[in-house]
Amino acid sequence: MVKLLENTYRQVNIALINELAILCNMLEIDIWEVVEAAKTKPFGFESFRPGPGVGGHCIPIDPKYLSFKTRQIGKPVRFVELAQEINNSMPSYVVNRIIERMNKLGKPMKNSRILIFGVAYKKDISDTRESPALDIIENFSSKGVEISFYDPF
């Protein structure tokens, strides 16, 4: 249960910062400035960074297991399931943001070339399990985009 708590805590907080990043984008507020300002509080705030979702063999998997088990006993963890939904939507959000910017530049996506930096689910490892970068690559590839990627591992 301890590991489930640790990884669910991370999943939920990553979902929160991801949703706030989307909101800040809509309001034309820099999420990074908001996070830096929030970090000045001496207690009560742990900094999480927005990104394309969660990956790896623990953070996306453990909350799913927790959700599965709690549904078996008739007590769904709706907050956890919502966090999963938010994080699972982030690769599409990233792709759509890039498409919007390309459209503003008058560049069609088909036959465009995009380089993705970092494919592993976190830095300094070679593990791509559940990496949201893979969903981004697949999404772009289905739109006729030529994808290259770089990851030091």
The catalytic residues are 58
Nearest of 151, 98, 93 to residue 120 by alpha carbon: 151
Closest CA to 69 of 119, 148, 144, 1: 1
| CA nearest neighbour of 112 among 147, 66, 152 | 147
In this structure, the number of other CB atoms found within 10 A of the CB of residue 125 comes to 12
For 111, the enclosing helix (H) or strand (E) is none
Q: What is the dihedral of CA 29, 83, 4, 78, to 10 degrees?
A: 140
